[in-house]
Amino acid sequence: MELDPKSLEIVCFPDPILRKVAKPIEQITDHVHAVAMRMLELMHEAPGVGLAAPQVGLPWRLFVANPTREEGQDSVFINPVLINPSSKMAEVEEGCLSLPQVTANIRRPVAISIETLNLKGQTVQHHSEELAARVWQHENDHLDGVLILDRMSPIDKLANRSIIRELKRIATNRSGSSLRSRIPR
């Protein structure tokens, strides 16, 4: 029996699903389509500019994004592969829907290309030197079990220490309940 996409919610750290390497999607079904639509809904509600399947508790290589937050600019990336990162790097502040209130300056290539399947199963390639490049890298990290916690400087780790500790405390105090509940902001 397939999971009802309407039941999906954003998973918060330290849920173990966030540390697992996601598996490729073998077939783009109506269920995959429904999950992607629910993920876009959750991303907009949060509000955010990207959301990966592990962030809703699914070990799939899929993420959604809308770096502009403009209507009609939503994108779905299935089995994405990042290619041709630029050698020029930049450090920019990032946040994460699975780590509410945590922000850090993360160093990433300023430009990158991505090859992915769309919801029609077509292979498409995009290139960006803008926010989209950063969003793709951040969301692709989620597919590999990597969090901004793993990329932040020691100073940023120190600055976010109390928030991270609080997220762990909340998760521990949910005796018997799912870690996949939203953390109050």
- Collapsing DSSP to helix, strand or coil, 151 comes out as helix
Active site residues: 139
Report yes or no: 139 and 132 within 8 Å, Cβ to Cβ: no
- Collapsing DSSP to helix, strand or coil, 18 comes out as helix
DSSP 51-105: EEGGGGT--BSEEEE-TT--TT--EEEEEEEEE---S-EEEEEEEETTEEEEEEE
